[in-house]
Amino acid sequence: MPVGEGANRVRYVEATIYPLYDLRGGGHAVHLPCVRGRTDVCGCFPTGRHYPGIADLIADAIQKVEGLCHEFEPGSSWKDIPFTVIDFETTGTDSETDRIIEVGLVRFDKGSVTSRESLLVNPGIPVPEESRAVHGITDEELAGAPDFATVMPRVLELLQGTLPVAYNAAFDRGFMLAEITRAAPEGMTPGDMPPAARDDVVWVDPLVWAREILKELKSRRLGDVTKHLGIPLEQAHRAAGDAEATGRVLLALAPQLPRVYGELVRLQKRYAAFQEAEFAAWKRFR
C-alpha cells in the first residue's frame, strides 16, 4: 500500500514491450497494450512493492523535462491548462521557401472552445496548383489579404498564455518559427513571445498519441482519425476546421494519456523518437 507524501504523485516506470498505463482516475488500471510506457500514482513498482522516495524523485524529474512552457506548472493536469490548436494552410511543405496562406487558431478552456479565429495571409508568391488542389485557396482570394508581418501581432496575441497544440506539430511549428523569424521586428526577443513562438517549447501533438493508441487504424491522418472517433470535421484542409477537429481528437484521447503536463511532454518526446526510428527503418528496407 503506498504511503507518505509520494503516494499522491504521478510517476513513470520504464517498460519494454506492451506495457500498460495505470491512470489517475479513481485508481483504476487501464490496459493499453499499444502504448510503450506506464504511469502510476504511487511509489510502487509492478511487483506492488513500495520503494520510499521513488515518487518524490520522479516528481522532481518531471520538473526538469525539457520543452515545457515555463508559464505552466509541470505537475499540473494538462487538461486544466488552456490550449490553442494551431493549423496552417501553406503554399507547400518547405518552411524556408514556402509561405503560410491561412491561419487557424482555436482555443480550448477545460474542454470547451472559447475562441475560433481564421485569417487569410498574402504569401507574396503564387499558390502552386498542387497546393491549391488540397485546400482550394486561390491567388485571387489572397490578393487583398495582409501579409504575415501584418497579422503576426494578432496571432501572437491569441497565442499568449496557452499551450500550443497541432496535428503533425513539426509541420506547423516549423512554419510558425520561420515566418516569425522573417517578420519579427528588430529587438524582439523570445521573452516577448508566447509559448508557441519560442523554439524551446514542445507542442502537444495528437498525431503522436494517435499512432500509439489507435494502432488498429491503417491511417492516422486527421480525417481518418476523426471518422474513427466520431468527431465532425468541417471544411477539411481549411485551417480553422482542422484546428477545431484536432482539439477534439486530443480531448477524445485524453483518458488514455498521462494526466500530468510534464509527463505528457516527456512521453510524447519518447514516442515521437520511437516513431521516427521506425519510419526511418521502414524507408530503408521497403
pLDDT in tens, 245-275: 999 999 999 999 999 999 999 999 999 999 9
Q: So what's the pLDDT on residue 214?
A: 96
Same domain membership, residue 58 and residue 122: no
| Same-domain status, 53 and 85 | no
- Tens digit of pLDDT for each residue in 203-259? 999 999 999 999 999 999 999 999 999 999 988 889 999 999 999 999 999 999 999
| Domain match, 159 and 110 both | yes
In this predicted model, what pLDDT tens digit does every residue of 125-184 receive, in sequence order?
A: 999 999 999 999 999 999 999 999 999 999 999 999 999 999 999 999 999 999 999 998
270 part of a folded domain: yes
Work out how many domains the chain is built from and give that number. 2
Q: Are residues 41 and 172 both part of a single domain? A: no
Confidence at 54, pLDDT banded by 50, 70, 90:
low
pLDDT computed for residue 59 by the predictor? 75
56 belongs to a structural domain? yes
Tell me the β-bridge partners of 108. 83, 113
Greater confidence (286 vs 213) lies with 213
pLDDT(22) > 50: no
Residue 21: is its pLDDT beyond 60?
no
Mean pLDDT confidence for 192-196: 94
Judged by DSSP in three states, 243 sits in helix
The pLDDT of residue 114: 98
On the question of pLDDT at 36 being above 90, the answer is no
Stated as kind and residue range, the H or E segment containing 129 is helix 129-135
Model confidence pTM above 0.85: no
Report DSSP state, residue 144. T
What are the Cα distances from residue 98, in Å, to 28, 89, 131, 176, 281?
48, 11, 11, 12, 29
Q: 62, 87, 111: which is the final residue of a domain?
A: 62
Of 109, 230, 90, 232, the residue nearest 168 (C-alpha):
90
| pLDDT at res. 45 | 46
Enclosing domain of residue 231: 78-285
Number of H helices and E strands in the chain, helices first, is: 9, 6
Identify whether 156 is part of a domain: yes
Query: Are residues 132 and 31 part of one domain?
Result: no
Sign, Cα dihedral of 236, 240, 243, 247 = negative
Are 60 and 51 within 8 A, CB to CB? Answer: no
Q: b or e along 145-176 (b: 16 or more beta carbons within 10 Å of the residue's beta carbon)?
A: bebbeebbeebbebbeebbbbbbbbebbbebb
Q: Is residue 195 part of a domain?
A: yes
Q: Is a pLDDT exceeding 80 seen at residue 35?
A: no
Q: Are residues 6 and 136 in the same domain?
A: no
Residues 55 and 142 grouped into a single domain: no
Query: For residue range 76-120, what is the model confidence (pLDDT) as tens digits?
Result: 999 999 999 999 999 999 999 999 999 999 999 999 999 999 999
Report residue 261: phi and psi, to 5°: -55, -50
Residue owning grid cell 485508481: 27
Distance of alpha carbon 25 from alpha carbon 231, whole angstroms: 24
Q: Give the mean model confidence (pLDDT) for residues 61-81.
A: 94
Average pLDDT along the chain: 85
Helix (H, G, I), strand (E, B), or coil: what is residue 64? Answer: coil
Question: What pLDDT sits at residue 10?
Answer: 35
Per-residue model confidence (pLDDT) at position 191: 80
* pLDDT score for 281: 86
What CATH number is associated with residue 275? 3.30.420.10
- Establish if 70 belongs to a structural domain: no
d(CA 229, CA 12): 28
- Could you tell me if 40 and 137 lie in one domain? no
Percent of the chain with pLDDT over 90: 70
Is 68 among the domain residues?
no
Question: pLDDT category, 51, cuts 50, 70, 90?
Answer: low
Same-domain pairing of 9 and 127 = no
Compute the distance between CA of residue 176 and CA of residue 163 in angstroms, rounded to an integer: 14
